[in-house]
């Protein structure tokens, strides 16, 4: 099966995967709309979804990881720079995966000759 060819209704994937420029108001609105729609599919009420706001999660040794936007520890939006261009450990990524069922990575730059550690993250 070519999973890339499956329709959004079959996979739950986003049809507009690439939004450019990533920081445009249209791209930001599309991400927010997707987060709300995905949360509704999960069965969250509009009251919970209305709480789409910045949050923080606990990481090891008392550290905290800032999350740009989140819905009830279900779906989170994290800009690429926040997650991959800053020093992060495996504990940060593990805490993110354990705290949210879905993570939307936004504002991903074109990958070229970036620093190897940024590409690895």
* pLDDT per residue as tens digits for the range 25-59: 887 888 888 788 877 777 776 666 666 788 899 99
| Residue 110 DSSP symbol | P
pLDDT of residue 37: 80
Pair of tokens at residue 107: 């504002």
Residue 6 belongs to some domain of the structure: no
Q: What is the arithmetic mean of pLDDT over 70-75?
A: 82
Residue 4 belongs to some domain of the structure: no
Residue 7 belongs to some domain of the structure: no
Q: Which residues contact 25 (CB under 8 A, 6 or more apart)?
A: none
Q: Is the pTM of this model over 0.75?
A: no
Pair of tokens at residue 101: 């069922």
Distance CA 91, CA 121 (A): 12
Share of the chain residues as helix, strand and coil, in percent rounded to the nearest 5: 40, 20, 40
More confident residue, 57 or 119: 57
Distance CA 51, CA 71 (A): 6
pLDDT of residue 5: 56
pLDDT of residue 9: 52
State which residues form the domain around 37: 16-120
Residue 9 belongs to some domain of the structure: no
Pair of tokens at residue 50: 């209305």
Task: Reply yes or no on whether the pLDDT at 77 is more than 80.
Answer: yes
pLDDT band, very low/low/confident/very high, at 104 (cuts 50, 70, 90)? confident
Residue 78 belongs to some domain of the structure: yes
Are the C-beta atoms of 56 and 66 separated by less than 8 Å?
yes
Residue 76 belongs to some domain of the structure: yes
Average pLDDT, the chain: 77
Radius of gyration of the chain from Cα atoms? 15
Residue 2 belongs to some domain of the structure: no
For the chain, the domain total comes to: 1
């Amino acid at each position: 099966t070519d999973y890339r060819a499956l329709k959004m209704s079959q996979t739950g994937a986003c049809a507009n995967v690439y939004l450019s420029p990533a920081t445009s108001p249209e791209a930001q609105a599309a991400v927010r709309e997707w987060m709300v729609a995905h949360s509704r599919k999960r069965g969250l009420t509009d009251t919970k979804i209305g709480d789409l706001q910045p949050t923080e999660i606990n990481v090891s040794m008392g550290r905290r990881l800032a999350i740009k936007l989140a819905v009830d520890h279900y779906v989170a939006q994290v800009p690429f720079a926040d997650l991959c261009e800053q020093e992060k450990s495996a504990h940060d990524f593990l805490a993110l995966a354990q705290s949210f069922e879905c993570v939307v990575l936004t504002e991903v730059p074109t990958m070229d000759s970036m620093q190897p550690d940024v590409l690895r993250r």
